[in-house]
Structure 1
């Protein structure tokens, strides 16, 4: 039986592509969540700096007319009917947050490509990625309010990080669907791309990141994360160690040599 979430590897640029494919609506249920747990474990392995020929970037995309119609509410119904509902719900959120945190901690750029309607869990996974690309006709929503729930896969806090607390509260309180262009203006979506050829454009964007200086990208992620979690001065304090270590990488050695030999704009990165 084919997994609803799988990884494909691009020979062009060492790009790992994660594909969610569970027709007709890509609903998140126990099967999908379990598959995501396996996928993030595999991503942790294939992006490991010590792994020869490792993946240098990750793209998340989906098959079908929508990115996802959200979570299968039957999953919540089973918990509500349980005598230990609170404990079971807490255990579920711990599992799902590990998926989000594992994505965030990958040492390579991560990109989410949203070509259409993106609700609840899929939106929260998108927010865990470094870059969120959206087609012009895409729309997004954290609609858990319709079942008396708050998004609990990291959505509210990551929206607050991107758009500020007021916008985060608005998105969650209203449960409305928001156009990609609106969320780009609010700094939730990084870029809105034309509907036509969107999948190809998203892959090309991710390939460019995969062809870049992977070690430097990992350093950027560490510094940005440090600034968000601990403040700018903490990130400043980390610079000598984090950026200094880049001078021992093949990426920097080869790129500097290429720059001096071949002129600016032609640097190559061959390290891990």
Structure 2
């Protein structure tokens, strides 16, 4: 609260993106993996029920223009691929009333037109833009379409990450490396049966809920924070490492500093040096 008051008094804007950076590719957990020098990094718990699918029906000779408009609006993106779609040929029927103004055929006459069922996927934040592009590019006065949510997981959004060390380390060497990277005076770890560490899962902040995901992914170690006493009993087949909440998220400001510096090269971007960790170690 005091920070907000000071910002208002000094005409400073505050932009909070904490939750977004927790789930974004390149966000908090990805930066942890970068600091640890991991390779082959990907999201530990990809978000499901996020991708949407649009199905619309377009006259065959207008399909290309509608498809292009949808792609321009951001539809058709799937992981490392763009302009993805599916087209199925068929026929559509319609009959306009007295108030209609059909682009094809005549009012009060049943028409049958060769059409394509066109399907594309998109992310929720693009829905308004995608629908506008569809309506503006479609030749029909009334555009028929349906939107559904898919069960597919989306790798670019989700909690935590998992990756691999460039070389296998003993548990002792791994803990020493982790302690150095996260600049912490102590690491709380489980009594794991693991002797060597290669595959590592990480999640910034409170990550006890993802222990089962780290285990299922085959990770040898899991770095997170805020583990409770009973959480460590799950750490027999995986080395659980609690580095501290502040310590796990300390590199987040560097993400923002680097991004803003790159995007606004002629603008001064300062990174705060104040330590705000309320936990002290003795």
Using the size of structure 2 for normalisation, the TM-score is: 0.25
Q: Which structure dedicates a bigger proportion of its chain to strand?
A: 2
TM-score by length of 1: 0.25
Structure of higher CA gyration radius: 2
Structure having the larger proportion of residues in helix: 1
